[in-house]
Amino acid sequence: MWNNFFVARDEEGRVGAAGGGQGGALAALKGGRAQRRNQKLSDSQDGKIKLAFLVCAVGVTLTVLALGTEFWVELAQPKDFGGNQTCQLAHYGLWKACVRTLWVADVDPDRASCGPAELPGESNCTYFKFFTSGENAVVFKKTTNKNLSLAAAILALLGLTLMVTGSICIIMTLSKGVAFFLKPASFCFILSGVLVLVSVLIFHRSVLALLSSDRSVPLHHRLAWSAACAGSAGAVLILGGVLFLVLSLPGTSWQKCLPHNNSAT
């Protein structure tokens, strides 16, 4: 009888020890996960994130500058087209078009077309109606393609929305001191840069459609500085998003990529 008693107590002790070991391991695992989740950013990580955010801020600034101006493309008549002392030039962006009347005497003698738009002259600007009434605009007897113009504008606005979302993620990362929002921010900035670049390509396609709508009036065209700002913004935003993606990777990933040094070294 006593032998059975001691054997039973011994088995209960083993079961208790096993249960305690499993409970301790589970508690340690949960504690490790909580510690990784609540791990704060170091000063070095904080500085790198701020530097990458500064790169993205440049891209956001260039995008806002491009969207707010109407110098995406210039359409210039030949300076001797009207046979008088003035010539006309049109420039427009995503929302508004302007027609400028310049003096031929102010145009560079070596230039065949009227312009550039920075010369002094009279300007008449109007907003596009395809955002309100759905009407196409007419520039020098040429008709715009409202579908392409609307697509370019909508993609640019979606890109701007993603930039704001990515900026909010980075602000939360810096304020909370955790790297959890770096990957969503990188996704937002990379996708916004792609959308801005696609917007520029679609806008250029809309310009070509405008020129081919009527060939009775010869025009010289070139993309202006607003389109250059948009293209540069797209490239800068993609670069900033890649930097955030790199910063979100754990340190072990970098150690695997780096070559292993010799122990003697």
pLDDT tens for 170-228 read: 999 888 888 888 999 999 999 999 999 999 999 999 999 999 888 777 888 899 999 99
For residue 110, give the 3-state DSSP assignment: coil
Cα 49 to the chain's mean position, in Å?
17
E-state strands within 109-196: 121-127, 138-139, 142-143
- Separation between Cα atoms, residue 204 and residue 193, nearest integer Å: 17
CATH fold, domain 42-248, is: Butyryl-CoA Dehydrogenase, subunit A; domain 3 (1.20.140)
Q: What is the largest CA-CA distance in the chain?
A: 126
- Separation between Cα atoms, residue 186 and residue 167, nearest integer Å: 10
The predicted structure's pLDDT at residue 259:
54
| Residue 123 CB-half CA count within 13 A | 16
Weakest-pLDDT range from 42-46, 140-144, 170-174, 207-211 = 42-46
- Separation between Cα atoms, residue 63 and residue 173, nearest integer Å: 23
The predicted structure's pLDDT at residue 258:
47
pLDDT band at 12 (very low <50, low <70, confident <90, very high): low
The whole model's pTM is what? 0.78
The predicted structure's pLDDT at residue 116:
86
